[in-house]
Amino acid sequence: MPNNSIRMDLALYEGIKGTLKLTENGLYFTSRKKNSFSLDLDKIEKVSFLMTALTTSTLYINEKEIIVCRAHLWAADIRKLKPGITA
């Protein structure tokens, strides 16, 4: 996994705790279980978010649903890296 992170935080994906990391190359979710994944930036087609609590919210990337703190900032950073992405 590249080390040039733009944003990194704890996250939940499919009920599994892990770390979500955004770099100039893509998005990476790593956990101690086998549910880790990576998405190259050019494979990200849709980004949106839903504010669900005071600090945690849901980030939607393509068809993936990820619970993370301040999802609106994640979405903004992804849109900066890949202008023209759809919501």
Compute the average pLDDT of residues 18-30: 95
Q: pLDDT tens digits, residue range 54-74?
A: 778 999 999 899 999 999 999
Tally of CB atoms within 10 A around 23:
18
Does the reported pTM lie above 0.85?
Answer: yes
Longest dimension (CA), the chain: 34
Which 3 state secondary structure label does DSSP give 31?
Answer: coil
The pair of three-digit structure tokens given for residue 26, joined into one six-digit string: 């893509």
Contact by Cβ (8 Å): 60, 47: yes
Q: How confident is the model at residue 5 (pLDDT cuts 50, 70, 90)?
A: confident
Q: Report the distance separating Cα 50 and Cα 4, nearest Å.
A: 27
For the chain, the straight-line distance linking the first and the last C-alpha, in angstroms and rounded, comes to: 26
- Residue ranges of domains in the chain, CATH in brackets: 5-81 (2.30.29.30)
The DSSP bridge partners found for residue 64 are 61
Residue 22: its pLDDT value, please? 96
Contact by Cβ (8 Å): 48, 79: no
